[in-house]
Copies of this chain bind each other. A is one copy, B any other.
């Protein structure tokens, strides 16, 4: 049954469930490429959602996210949340061609796990996926969950809005900062304070760790928090100091979500957001079709000639489309 050269999604999913990593890699390539293949995978995965718990790791470039992720893989494998378990890592690659080198380096570093069958590491770019990372990553996570992987780490490389949105679309979001004046403030500016369930001060053996902790505590004091106050964990990823405490803190946040019954709410909200993204992408595609049309060319010519302002042009173009139906 498990035929690694098949390209049929349901055959591939069955093989991936039986532990076939090549099949899983092919499925993720389908997801990444978007289009009908990705849609077929999403539909199948949705039928058998699985139980994966997802942890997002984000922060500025150079903060030490990859090395931390490396430790979290080990801890997930050895201890898991209820005993050692399989771990998958999605490393989200903003599509800039220039970042390839750094990411490749990170991935090479993570190859310390390459002989472990229970670890699956994958770099992911948007490529052709309609809706970009905001839709492709939830699709990929759902797939990993559907084939039975219980722990999924989502590591983002940049701190652009897209990457932050992706990292925050996980069950527990870990924001990594470094000691030093201003790093906490930069994290705040980048919108990381609102999404953090846990803060890690990595390279905490360097000067300024205490001040950074104080800055973070202060900013948390100034923020309206829900029932969970983000914990702050100090680590030195290069030596492994503090990473066990981080794993414990992730487990505590997980228990908080499960115990409080909020995990389901959180996931439902994420599903609605994903749905919204898909709607948007779908309509955007229709706009692209519209922009390739004769109608568009005629209206644009009128706009460039100064006869229509861009708002009138949009009215004119959309008028024949009608309004969306709103009845049940």
Copies of this protein, total: 2
Chain B, Cβ-Cβ closest to A287: B279
In the complex the two chains form, is A278's CB within 8 Å of B160's CB?
Answer: no
A186 and B328 CA atoms in complex are apart in Å by 50
> Looking at A42, A49, A282, which has the most chain B CB atoms within 10 Å of its CB?
A282
Q: Does A188 contact B (CB under 8 A)?
A: yes
A49, A268, A321, A327 interface centre (most CB from chain B within 10 Å) = A321
- Asked if A82 is an interface residue, CB under 8 A from chain B, the answer is no
B160 x A310 contact (CB < 8 A): no
The answer to whether B320 touches A275 (Cβ under 8 A) is: no
* Distance from A39 Cβ to chain B, minimum over Cβ atoms (Å): 5
Contacts of A98 in B (CB 8 A): 188-189, 193
Task: Determine if A22 is an interface residue (Cβ-Cβ < 8 Å).
Answer: no
Check A189–B158 contact: CB distance below 8 A.
yes
| CB contact list, A19-51 vs B, under 8 A | 39, 42-43, 46-47, 49
A112 adjacent to chain B (CB < 8 Å) = no
Interface check A117, CB cutoff 8 A: no
* Cβ contact of A189, chosen from B43, B99, B276, B295, cutoff 8 A: B99
Q: Which of A158, A182, A189, A191 has the most CB of B within 10 A?
A: A189
**A317 / chain B contacts, CB cutoff of 8 Å:** 279
B-contacting 9-mer, from A230-238, A248-256, A299-307: A299-307
Whether the pair B314, A325 counts as a contact (CB closer than 8 A) is: no
Contact with B along A306-326 (1 / 0, CB 8 A): 100111111001101111111
CB distance B287 to A324 under 8 Å? yes
* Residues A295 and B42 in contact, CB atoms below 8 Å apart: no
Check A258 for interface membership: any CB of B closer than 8 A: no
Distance, CA A289 to CA B322, complexed state (A): 13
The residue of chain B having its C-beta at the shortest distance from the C-beta of A45 within the complex is: B309
Query: Is there an interface contact between B304 and A268, defined as CB atoms closer than 8 Å?
Result: yes
Residues of B within 8 A of A262 (CB): none
A293 at the interface (CB under 8 A from B): yes
A286 at the interface (CB under 8 A from B): yes
Contact in complex: B283, A326 (CB < 8 Å): no
Are the CB atoms of B290 and A324 closer together than 8 Å?
A: yes
Q: A116 within 8 Å of B by Cβ? A: no
Q: Is the Cβ of B328 less than 8 Å from the Cβ of A282?
A: no
Pairs A–B under 8 Å by Cβ, sample size 16: A42-B309, A42-B310, A43-B311, A46-B310, A62-B182, A160-B190, A271-B310, A275-B300, A278-B314, A279-B287, A279-B291, A289-B323, A294-B328, A295-B326, A295-B327, A320-B325
Top 10 A-B pairs, shortest CB-CB distance: A293-B326, A46-B309, A294-B328, A320-B325, A278-B314, A290-B324, A321-B324, A275-B310, A43-B309, A295-B328
**Which residues of A are at the interface with B, using a C-beta cutoff of 8 A?**
39, 42-43, 46-47, 49, 61-62, 94, 96, 98-99, 158, 160-162, 182, 186, 188-191, 193, 268, 271-272, 274-276, 278-280, 282-284, 286-287, 289-298, 300, 303-304, 306, 309-314, 317-318, 320-328
